[in-house]
Amino acid sequence: MLLADRAARIATLAAGTALSCLALAAPAHANAAAEAAPETTPYNEIVVTGEAQGYLAIDSVTATKTDTPLLDIPQTVNVITSEQIADQAMRSMEDVMRYVPGVTVGQGEGNRDQITLRGQNTTADFFLDGVRDDVQYYRNLYNIERVEVLKGPYALIFGRGGGGGIVNRVQKAPSAEKAFGSVGGSVNTFGAWETSADVNLPISGTAAFRINGMYEELASFRDEYDGRRVAVNPHVAADLGDWTASLSYEYVDDLRTTDRGIPSLNGAPAPGLRDAFFGSDSNEAGLEAHVVKARLDGEIAPGLRSTTTVLYGDYDKFYVNVFAGGALNPATNTVALAGYDARTQRENLIAQTNLIADFATGGIDHKVLLGLEYGNQKTGTQRYGSSAAIPALDLDDPVYPSVTFDVLTQDRQSEVEFVSVYAQDEIALASFLDLIVGVRYDRFNITGEDVLAAFPFDRTDEKWSPRAGLVLKPQDDLSIYASYSRSFLPRAGDQFSTLSPTTANLDPERFENIEAGAKWEVRPGLALTGAIFRLDRTNTTTPDPANPAQNINVGETRTKGVELGLVGEVLPGWQVSGGYAYQKGTVRNLDRSLGQVPHHQASLWNRYDVTPSLGLGLGVTHQSSQYASISNAVKLPSFTRIDAAAYYTLNDRVDFQVNVENLLDESYYASAHSDNNIMPGAPINARFTARVRF
């Protein structure tokens, strides 16, 4: 799509949505939602994004779409608040997930976020303010208030996918209370640097404008790696009496080296290659994205509220990559290389409306959610190979080859249209007993053509996804729960690219989760959680270890485990965020372990304020060994990494911090995509940050 056409479409959508919001809004008077905004929020947002006390989140608008206390949600929810994001200098999804037990970070082929959550590998289970954000790219945190990791199948609230859970980013919201802002900058010892700004300006007593922007230069300990990224997000919101309306636009331009790590040797990552680059002088990944999001919230009548969100996204992406195509050959000290050039065009239009009703019948309180969601997603993908053989890389005399990808090997066009209807009832059976029940109906239709294979396709799946949970509260600060949930994934895969003549008639993949747990507010501001779970997946499709570009069906998988968490203020001035996860993931008919699922994960981050001006941070993460893929042929060794930080507040406007990653310079392997795309962990490095508030 030409840039002018794209800009015109975005402008038309934004203007039309804004006019619709204004037309639907009721006459102005005090907004009940804004008045109820928690005092612990730094500024009273027009669009409420959730309450938190330091590292401890109190509620979630996302988990049930009904602004429910986390204590009353019968599933595991990890929330990384804005304060923790700042304290740990988090800049990416990888930074966030590193301290969330039960989640491992995938390498993502050097061009995207990719995670394994409760044994389920995904590139698409990402959301923005509860709306699907499934394009493959790297997500930044410059405009994000907090990140929520919801575990277990979540089809009732989020639709298809989400088999192991989902990751939701909550966007910063404008405030009409007062003008405020900040600018910041950071640099690390690898040479990477960034600068960002966050400015909020009240337009009137009931409207505000907020803009976030960032620019960064990328650098790494890895040879040949560099890049840059720029993003800007203006956001306007207005309190229109019983209604609030907001309109947001985000532009992202990301260009970086495609780096897929190192190969294996004798069933382990090849030693001595931490910095070595396996690629070509053409390895590059780029994304240009335009995302418009409009939201309208309001009170229709006493006890009846409505929320409507519309998201339009236009994404152009490419990545050219040459990578290790096999294990290191010790006899010749060479590594075979493979590669391709991939192009993706995606256009998303997703709209959802929710009605939330609070009422009582026969002395029993109900909070009922009724929802409707519609989506249209158009995708074009092309892949090019090379007509000439790519020479192997000789490690004794490394010369990066020049490769031309001149042969079209894949050309697919698809259009997905889905319609979903869902209902949920949170029932207070007694003052100490809640029941949550719900069901969702999805109609998923994909049409398109694999041009080179001469394979036109048109498939429709219709699925029901139930959810049920029981919450027992023997006291106000303690809940004990049990839950069941189910989800599905169509045969087109999470990126609509795996439908083929051999899979077109197969049933969707299915996920079933059984979980029981407890949540205890040890004291105000400190929460302890625990859960046990079992997650079964049937008709499982996974990348072929011998050829990760292709998928194979491996039947049924099972992940079972235990998760523990401790978050909040232990003592005055001492905050912690920690957890432990034990997981065992198996491919049942192959008697193999799932890839990228360590048995043990543990993390603990501490911040202690020595004085009002000086604070110290210390963190540790541990992962036991894990297989790189379901082949179980290559194992990544266990590791323990220690991080540290120091904070200094000069005055009420200026503060400084330094974050040291991998303080003891541990050698480890952070992630993998396959048996021979393994990413070494970074050596000791420091990031220096300064912020000025006004």
- For residue 592, the surrounding DSSP H or E stretch is strand 592-593
The contacts found for 298-303 with CB under 8 angstroms, 24 or more apart, are: 298/24, 298/25, 298/26, 298/240, 298/242, 298/243, 298/244, 299/32, 299/33, 299/242, 299/243, 300/355, 303/357, 303/358, 303/359
pLDDT of residue 491: 82
- For residue 4, the surrounding DSSP H or E stretch is helix 3-24
Helix, strand, coil % in the chain, rounded to nearest 5: 5, 60, 35
Confidence of residue 157 (pLDDT cuts 50, 70, 90): confident
pLDDT of residue 47: 64
C-alpha triplet 318, 321, 323: angle, nearest 5°: 155
Domains (range + CATH), the chain: 3-693 (2.40.170.20)
The helix/strand/coil state of 81 is: coil
Q: What would the pLDDT profile of 343-392 be if each residue is shown by its tens digit?
A: 999 999 999 999 999 999 988 999 999 999 999 999 999 999 999 999 99
Residues near 272 by beta carbon (within 8 Å), at least 6 away in sequence: none
The helix/strand/coil state of 545 is: coil
End-to-end alpha carbon distance in the chain: 40
The helix/strand/coil state of 17 is: helix
Structure tokens at 33: 């939602």
Tell me how long the chain is: 694
CA 159 from chain centre, in angstroms, equals 16
Query: Closest Cα partner for 459 from 510, 500, 422?
Result: 500
Confidence of residue 29 (pLDDT cuts 50, 70, 90): very low
Q: Which residues pair with 605 in a beta bridge?
A: 577, 619
Q: Which amino acid is at 407?
A: V
> 469 near 477, Cβ under 8 Å?
no
Between CA 521 and CA 568 the distance in angstroms is: 10
7, pLDDT greater than 80: no
Percentage of the chain surpassing pLDDT 70? 90
Percentage of the chain surpassing pLDDT 90? 81
Q: Which residue has the tokens 């120091």?
A: 646
Alpha-carbon Rg for the chain, nearest whole angstrom, is: 25
CA 446 from chain centre, in angstroms, equals 24
Neighbouring C-beta atoms of residue 589, cutoff 10 Å: 11
Confidence of residue 550 (pLDDT cuts 50, 70, 90): low
Backbone angles phi and psi of 224, in degrees to 5? 70, 5
Average pLDDT over residues 254-267: 97
Between CA 168 and CA 148 the distance in angstroms is: 5
Q: What would the pLDDT profile of 467-502 be if each residue is shown by its tens digit?
A: 999 999 999 999 999 999 999 998 888 888 877 777
> 85 near 91, Cβ under 8 Å?
no
Q: What would the pLDDT profile of 551-600 be if each residue is shown by its tens digit?
A: 666 679 999 999 999 999 999 999 999 999 999 999 988 889 999 999 99
The helix/strand/coil state of 586 is: strand
Between CA 565 and CA 526 the distance in angstroms is: 11
Q: Which amino acid is at 661?
A: E
Q: What would the pLDDT profile of 620-638 be if each residue is shown by its tens digit?
A: 999 999 999 999 999 999 9
pLDDT of residue 481: 97
pLDDT of residue 569: 96
Between CA 1 and CA 3 the distance in angstroms is: 6
pLDDT of residue 551: 61
| DSSP string over 330-393 | TTTTEE-EEEEEEEEEEEEEEEEEEEEEEEEETTEEEEEEEEEEEEEEEEEEEEEE-SSPPPPE
pLDDT of residue 497: 81
Q: Which amino acid is at 430?
A: A
Between CA 686 and CA 190 the distance in angstroms is: 8
Residues near 116 by beta carbon (within 8 Å), at least 6 away in sequence: 103, 104, 106, 122, 164, 594, 595, 596, 597
Neighbouring C-beta atoms of residue 615, cutoff 10 Å: 20
> 94 near 105, Cβ under 8 Å?
yes
Average pLDDT over residues 181-196: 97
Could you give the dihedral angle defined by the CA atoms of residues 680, 681, 683 and 688, in that order, rounded to the nearest 10 degrees?
A: 130
- For residue 21, the surrounding DSSP H or E stretch is helix 3-24
Q: Which amino acid is at 559?
A: T
Query: Closest Cα partner for 172 from 215, 194, 140?
Result: 140
25, pLDDT greater than 60: no
Q: Which residue has the tokens 């001149």?
A: 406
The helix/strand/coil state of 415 is: strand
142, pLDDT greater than 50: yes
